[in-house]
């Protein structure tokens, strides 16, 4: 994700280019020069960070023409969104059907080692941990549904 800051001369309301500024997030420091638009963009990797808000601090030490300045912002780290795709199933009484689902993150990468549960109406069918394959499958007989206990 990109963290962008802009250094602006507030007297003339113009960007300040080619000046060094420092961005700090979660103990990591990035220093670079501003571009022609007075901006610095840091392609920041959110890695091993808890889901919470983190302070972003920006500092410019000043020069012979511009006073020192600081600014703050917030980086909000959220849980990774996931998608479960399940295929519709149709079967006849006393027939075995296959329940199939795919669990992926927001980049369509399969999520391995995650537990998913199959429920049909309020009947618990099976908990399954995803493996290295993209699919999880379980086979249950429709005729056995009435014998399953509701899981609370």
Which residues 6+ apart lie within 8 Å of 96 measured at CB? 139, 140, 141, 142
Looking at residues 129-133, what average pLDDT do you find? 53
Domains and CATH numbers, the chain: 2-76 (2.60.40), 82-147 (no CATH)
CA distances from 6 to 44, 59, 64 (A): 16, 11, 19
Sheet holding 53-60: strands in order across?
A: 28-33, 20-25, 53-60, 69-76
| Mean pLDDT (the chain, rounded) | 83
pLDDT of 87 above 60: yes
Neighbouring CB atoms inside 10 A of 130's CB total 19
- The pTM score is 0.66
pLDDT of 141 above 50: no
């Amino acid at each position: 994700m990109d963290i962008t800051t802009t250094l602006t001369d507030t007297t003339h309301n113009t960007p300040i280019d080619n000046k060094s500024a420092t961005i700090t997030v979660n103990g990591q420091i990035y220093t670079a020069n501003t571009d022609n638009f007075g901006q610095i963009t840091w392609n920041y990797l959110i890695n091993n960070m808890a889901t919470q808000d983190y302070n972003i601090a920006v500092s410019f030490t000043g020069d012979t023409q511009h006073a020192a300045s600081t600014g703050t912002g917030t980086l909000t780290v959220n849980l990774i969104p996931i998608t479960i795709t399940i295929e519709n199933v149709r079967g006849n009484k006393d027939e075995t059907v296959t329940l199939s689902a795919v669990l992926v993150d927001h980049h369509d990468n399969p999520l391995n080692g995650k537990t998913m549960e199959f429920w049909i109406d309020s009947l618990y069918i099976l908990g399954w941990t995803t493996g290295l394959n993209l699919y999880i499958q379980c086979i249950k007989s429709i005729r056995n549904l009435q014998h399953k206990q509701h899981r609370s």
